Structures are given as structure tokens and as C-alpha cells.
A and B are shown apart, each in its own frame.
Chain A
Amino acid sequence: MKQSFWKFFFLIWLVCISNASHALEVIEILGGKASQIPVAVIPFKDNNAQKSMQLMHEVITNDLNRSGLFSSIDISGVSDYPIDEREVNFSNWAALQSQFIVVGKIDAIGRSNSQMQVTWSLIDIYKEKTVLSVAIKGQPSQYRVIAHRIADTIYEKLTGSKGVFDTNIAFVKKLGKEKYSLFIADYDGHNPRAIVNSRYSIISPRWSPNGKKIAYVSFEKKKPVIYVQDIETGKRTLLANFRGNNSAPAWSPDSKKLAIVLTYSANSQIYTIDADGKNIKQLMRTRSINTEPAWSPNGKEIYFSSDRAGSAQIYKVDVDTNEVVRVTFEGNNNVSPSLSPDGKLLLFLNQDNGSYRVAIQNLLSNQMLKLTNGPDDESPIFSPNGHMVLFTYKDYGKVSKIGTVSINGLKMTPIDVGSETILESTWGPLSD
């Protein structure tokens, strides 16, 4: 009887599994798209605030759009401006294809209402709930900074990366025949102020990673020499004036050293030097050109351009072992290397058919992506979060302008700094 019992049990089990619900159907979704998150930034409700504060939503919208990761919803047809979740009609916003909205209000606070408090929220339309709710204070005159910081907070929440909308750029303008100035401005070109004026050319401005100093090449001594200038005090020191050329300053990641290019009386070669000008050391010596050094973020490698293979290409050298490896192979020549903050992407200029354009290369897969079309694009540099590239380009009148392009290639936006021609530009670090 025992044997029968187990047979019985076995058959019951068979029946059960045959009659049981099936295993879940699995659907595999491989890959994805480079798309933009639609966000609507609603004008903040102005309770007794100044007119300038009313422009904050525009600054936020422009910031998010420029990054290439967001698209703005046209709210011209929208009449109700909610200030928080309770006032939001979710189905309306879903119908407009908006995934998130940014709402808020501005109140005057403090003694004699001289300060402003902005209370804003980031709201998820699909989940119908508030993602973030923040209050921030400041002077009305600082509405741009406040807006940039709001944009930074939104950016960080939705992408996981720090926003760069409250950072600075520096650029050299040629204002006249013998008039050059190095400017510092908000990353979007607002608020420019000159920190160096000269009758001669200034090139290669480079911010130290700690944000305190800026190095640049000046031709005021009738030859290129390198200065390091303290941004806060304006005081500067002459870092390098060796025989021949002194150029291409590149800060080490810890801001303690720079890689520079000297010629003496031979072709351009790469050296390293302490930030106080001591301890000059030659990195390599070949018969070819070696220039444009750029440190990897971990400080172990220096990327540079060289014509040792016949045409200008980009190589990297191990700082300890001095081993040199070629990195670029496409197009006619490749120059001006720099690395993304995570060290995974190489940014450079790629020349093809006589056109210079901005390109990035994935250092793991070696896949190259052209970000711009040229023909005279130059001076490419990553934003501090590696999501955008600042570069110069020539307009139809052959006047050089500056602009940003998102690294997904989706969004190119000019930066308006006036009509004079730009020589070179660079991006400052995140302020800690």
C-alpha cells in the first residue's frame, strides 16, 4: 500500500504542475535611446517680488535645455500656474507629454523685504507626486545664481550627476588690433569681467582643478611665456620663460604640477614643472612634435598630440613607465586632447577633408563620435560633469564664437558674449 501511496502522490504532483500557471513570460529589452526628458518649468508665482525674479523660469529652462538631456514643453497655451502638487492637474500635463514640471513661488522676506525666498518643487507627472521641494534665499539681483542652483538640483536628482549651471568659463577676446582681454563669466556668458588686458595675444587659458588659479600663455614679451594668476587677488607669477617657446600649460589633477611645452631651439617637447616654477623635468624627447599635454583624471597618464607617425595624432604616455601608446587613428589628423572627469572619454579635434570638428572617443571601445561639423571648430573642453563641451567655431563672417554641445550630440547652443572674435575658451571647475 505504501508504494501505491507514493505513486498516487507523484501523479497528484504531476497534475498540479501541469495545471499550474506558466512561468512568467520574459521580454528582453536590449539597448536604449538617447532621448530628452520633457520638463515644463512654470513661471513662479510672484508674491511681491521684483520683476527680475520673474525671469528665473527662463534661466532654468535654458540651463536644462542646453544640457541636451531635457526638452522644454511649450506652455504658451497653459493658463494655470500651479505653485505646488495640490494645484497640479496631472492629466493635463500628461496630455502635454510632460514627464516633470517645476513650480514655485517667490516671497519677499527679511528686513524691509529686501531678501527673496523661492519655494519650488519638482513634480513627477506619471507618478503624480512631488520629487523635491526646496526653499532658497537670496537678493533679487542674484536671481540668475538662484535659478542656476535650482537647475543644478533638478539635474542632479534626475540624472545622478552634478549640474554645472553655476560654474564659470574663461575666454580670450580680441577687442581690436592690439587689444586682447582674458574674461571670466557665468557658464552661459552672463556677467563677463576682464582679468587680463594686453596688447598682445593670450592663448591656452587653463583653470586649476581647485578653482583658485588660472594659467595662460601671453605674447607680451614678444615670445610665448606662461603666467599663473590668482583669480581672487589678480596677482600673477611668471611660471616659465625658458629659451624659446613656453606654452600649453596643463594642470595635474591635484593642482600641484603642470605639464608644459618648451622648445629651447628644437621641436616642441613636453615637460613637467611644479606650480611654483621649480623642479622642471623632461617627460620625453623625440625628433617629432610633442605638444598639447592633458592629464588623465587619475594622474597616471598624459595624453598629447604628436606628428611622429607623419601626421598629427593623439598619444598617451604613462607618467611612471614612459610607455607611449597611440590613441587616435581616424581622419587626417587629430589634435587638442582632453579627458572627461571620469576618464572614460577622450575629447579632441578631428580633421577630415580640411574641416576641423569636435569629436569624442570612448577609450574602452575606441568608438568615435563626431559632435560638430566644423569647418573651423577649436578649443574643445569638457564641462566639469563631462556632459557638455565648450568650443569655439567660426560664423559666416569668419568671426569666432563660443558655444556648447551636449555629448550626446543632440544640442548645440551658442553662448552670447558679444560680437568680437574669440581666440580660446575654457571651463572652470565645480565649486565645492
Chain B
Amino acid sequence: MRLPWLENNDNLQANLFTLVIHLALFIFMIFSVNWQVKTPYYAEVELWDAIPTQIKPKPLIKRATPKVQKPQPSIAEKIVEAKKDADIQLKKKKAAELKKKKAAELKKKKAAELKKKKAAELKKKKAAELKKIEQLKKKALEEEKLAELQKRLLEDEEVEKVQKKLLEQDDLERLQEELRNKDLAKETRIAIEGTQDLVAGTNSGELEKYKALIQQKIYQNVNKQLCGLDPLELIFEIVLMPTGDLIGGAKMIKSSKIESCDQAVERAILQAQPLPMPQDNRLFSQLKKLKLKFQPNGPIN
């Protein structure tokens, strides 16, 4: 195929080159590569080998806690959710159909019975009463049957519900396993993380929770009596290990200008070790370095 406009355009080469570069960089933006060699403070563990055991955080004393945002479902979770929905719909359909069938059957039977009755009435008058009795009996029987059917239907529904649940769990676990093992899933995760990094954390709920826990623990130790009565501010920076212990103490960035206050706040931080840390590796990396801002005598206006 000839593309004359390609050959005739002098700048085109340059423009194409530019376009390619743009595309490449754009792709890089999406799928970023971590070219920094990070030396971890801890041994790298192959994640997802086993579901990590969660350490239950200590029950908090009731205080006004910062609003925790509802966690937004990730794409993977959304897929699972969709699948679940589909399954539920299917099963609902089946149950409905079953119901319909049985209801239809009932109808048929009823119609047939009625016909018999009419014929009998026309034929025999003497047997009318007997027949009536018979009819009544039959009716009762039918009602019994109806009740039974309804009962069974309900039972069926119950059983179906339980089965549904078990099936759902199976599905979930299967999905999780797939996610754990497949490389494809990993890449997707990285891809998702990448977009998340740009979109500023869809896991902010967990992050806020840990920030609140850390805030609580340090607050309990702040002896504000050593800070006088006037409003003041102190800022410290700390670096943490996954155990929640500080590395290298607390670094004071902003002093209160009162020595006993600076020391009291520093003591409060040191005393709060080990700080509550998440097990999640990625979440920990967001909490590894922290800036702590103190206003022991209330907000500075």
C-alpha cells in the first residue's frame, strides 16, 4: 500500500518519532516501573502464600473518632461481585420457574377434577351427596397437597438459599485462589495499583483507621501540664518499623519554645511504642514515615 502523504512529508518522520515517544511515555505513566533499588528493612516474603493472620487491634476507649470512609471496591472485587450477582439471578430464575411449573401443574389438576365432578353430578343424583362428600374429601386432600407443596417449596427455597451461600463461598475462595496464583492477576493488581496511585488511594479507609489508632495511642501519653496555658504547636517526624517501633527516635521539626513541653511530647511519642501498624505491606509503606503535629493547649486560631 502506498502512502504518498507519508513519503512527501519531511516533518513526518520527526512527528512520528514524537508520537511514538509520547505513546511510550504515556504507557509508562500507566504502567510505571520502579527503577529504584529499595533495600528493605525487613525480609521480603512471598505474599499471598497464606492469608495473613490479622492481629485484633485493642478495643478503643470511646472518643470522637475521625470519619472513616466506606472502602470503594476494587476492579477485581467488582468482577467477583458481578459474578455473584449473575449467579444469584440465575438461581432466582430457576426457583421462579420451578414455582411456575408446580403452580401450572396444580392448575391442570384442578381443572381435571372439576370436569369429573360435573359429569358425576349430571349422571347420578343419588350419588350426589356421596359425591359431595367425596368432593369435600378431595378438596381437603387437595388443600393438604397444596399446603404440602407450599411447604416443600419453602423448604426448597431454604435449601436453595443455603446451597447458594455455600456456592458463593466456593466461588469467592476459588476466585481468591486464582488471584493468588495467576501471574495475570498479579499484573492486573500492579496495573490497578498504578491507577490507584494516580487516583490517590482507594484504600483510604484503612489508612485513616490506622492513623486514628496511632493518634489515640500517642494522645494518651501527652502530658499537657508541662506546656503552660498558651496555644502552641510542635511538629515531630518519625520513621517506623513494621513492628511499630521507631527508628532513630523522634525528630523535632518545630519546637514549642518550652523545653519541658518539647520533652513531654517527645516522651509521649516514645512511650507509645509499639505504634499500631497494619499487616498490609502497601498500607505500611504509607505509614512508615509520619509527621506528627501537636497542639496540646487546643487549636491555634
Contact = CB atoms under 8 A, between A and B. Distances in A.
Interface in B186-210: 197-198, 207
Which of the four size classes fits the interface of chain B?
35 or more
A233 interface: no
B267 A126 contact: yes
Contacts of A408: 225
Contact of B14 (A4, A19, A69): A4
B219 A32 contact: yes
B226 A160 contact: yes
A29 B261 CA distance: 14
Contact of A30 (B29, B258, B267, B299): B299
A12 interface: yes
Contact of A8 (B25, B198, B211, B214): B25
B222 A15 contact: no
Nearest to B197: A18
Interface in A29-52: 29-37
Contact of B298 (A1, A27, A30): A30
B229 interface: yes
A176 to B, nearest CB: 43
Given A32-B224, A34-B224, A18 B198 contact: yes
Given A18-B198, A31-B224, A126-B271, A25 B229 contact: no
A27 B295 contact: no
Nearest to B215: A27
Given A27-B211, A27-B293, A32-B222, A15 B32 contact: yes
Contacts of B296: 31-32
Interface stretch (B97-105, B165-173, B284-292): B284-292
Interface string A308-333: 00000000000000000000000000
A127 B214 CA distance: 21
A99 interface: yes
A25 B66 CA distance: 15
Contacts of B287: 25
A362 interface: yes
A18 B32 contact: yes
B93 interface: no
A159 B260 contact: yes
A126 B221 CA distance: 14
B1 to A, nearest CB: 27
Which of the four size classes fits the interface of chain A?
35 or more
Given A25-B286, A33-B223, A362-B229, A160 B25 contact: no
B22 interface: yes
Contact of A32 (B34, B223, B249, B292): B223
A27 B290 contact: yes
A430 B270 CA distance: 34
Given A1-B14, A18-B29, A31-B298, A24 B291 contact: yes
Contacts of A127: 249, 270
B29 A33 contact: no
Nearest to A1: B14
Nearest to A30: B295
Contacts of A28: 215, 293, 295
5 tightest Cβ-Cβ pairs between the two chains A and B: A32-B224, A32-B222, A160-B260, A32-B296, A11-B25
28 contacts: A4-B14, A4-B21, A7-B18, A15-B28, A15-B32, A18-B29, A19-B32, A22-B286, A24-B290, A25-B211, A25-B289, A26-B292, A26-B293, A27-B211, A27-B218, A29-B292, A31-B222, A32-B222, A32-B268, A33-B224, A35-B221, A69-B225, A126-B267, A158-B263, A160-B259, A160-B260, A161-B260, A362-B229
Given A32-B224, A33-B221, A344-B229, 15 more contacts: A4-B14, A4-B18, A15-B28, A25-B291, A27-B214, A28-B215, A29-B218, A29-B293, A31-B219, A32-B268, A33-B219, A36-B223, A69-B225, A158-B226, A362-B229
